[in-house]
Amino acid sequence: MPNKTSSWLQRWQSALREQHTLLFDYQTKTIKSQYAETVNCPVCDSNRAVLFFEKDWFRYVQCQDCSMVYMNPRMNQAATYAFYNSNVNAIYNENKFDQVSTGPSLDDQVNLANLDLIDRFCTRTRGVLLEIGSAKGFFLSKAKERGYKVYGIELNKKNVEFSRQLVGDTVFDVDLFDTCFEADKFDVIYMRDVIEHIPNPQPFFCELNRIAKPGALMFIETHNIDGLIHQIVREKHTVIFGFEHPNHWSPKTLGKALEKNGYEVQNIFQSSPDFTLNSLLFYCSGPTFTTIMPVTISKRSFLFKLLRVPFWFSPIRFLDRTITSQIANCLKKGSVMKVLAVKRKGLFA
């Protein structure tokens, strides 16, 4: 009987290769002109950039003026919309959202810890909270239990139906701009693993400023492209995925984008759940599930797999996760950053 995970992975990789074939010209190894757009830096609008790395023929550049890392050329809106409505996304959601859970998932636990941070740093009493990318509604349901009036935006219709059963009809299955929220509505805006998906962050942040009350708290969690794990493994990391992640943020670039749109960063917390010796060996031993083009497995790759054997044992795995990750955090080079910012009172520049 075939392994369920193996079957899922085979279907996922097959669907990815199909999308890659549709998107790319295999003669020139570039995105076909009808699906591509060339852009300036999404933070400072500079056109001065150098190649940062390449993965599966997607090219990522770094702005020479503000250091933002972004994909250029990138998929245009029509190509992006087609991908999100393709079989690839349906297969991914089977693994991410459609599994029956007997308890809080790892994602749920992280979201709950983030809610604790919001409670700790929000200077006002429980108010109106918006989550963008609210999935099945776990975070919203817990926020509602604590006294927040909650709203959500989620484009997966199954997740919207599920979360409405938990929190009511204040979860919307439309784009942020189509919700047409009134100005100065929200006390808290929460996003986790969302901002890297947004191709044009400036108008997005501007709209968030419009709908947030003066002094409102913005909480953004995303991977940190300046983190040690990303500096070492670079394009091998799973989050380097051209179909979905056109932008890769650092504390500096995210802070700059927020500042330009009327927010002031108050705190940045970093964590490094994947900066371990085991993870580094894993990325060196072969391609991850977000790699599309075939990768040659060398003798060196086999050696890295052998070196991972000691990490099968719980004591070694525990020490690796406990100690190694702290190195990145102490150097302020964590894999993940949680940015808390406050909307400045009055008009913004």
Position 266 scores a pLDDT of: 94
User: What angle (nearest 5°) sits at the alpha carbon of residue 177, between those of residues 109 and 39?
Assistant: 90
Task: List the domain boundaries for the chain.
Answer: 4-291+314-343
Position 61 scores a pLDDT of: 98
How large a percentage of the chain has pLDDT more than 90? Answer: 74
Question: Which segments of the chain have a pLDDT < 50?
Answer: 1-2, 347-349
Position 54 scores a pLDDT of: 96
Position 94 scores a pLDDT of: 73
Position 349 scores a pLDDT of: 40
Position 101 scores a pLDDT of: 55
Position 95 scores a pLDDT of: 66
Position 103 scores a pLDDT of: 60
Position 28 scores a pLDDT of: 95
Position 346 scores a pLDDT of: 60
Q: Please provide the CATH number assigned to the domain covering 4-291+314-343.
A: 3.40.50.150
- pTM assigned to the model: 0.91
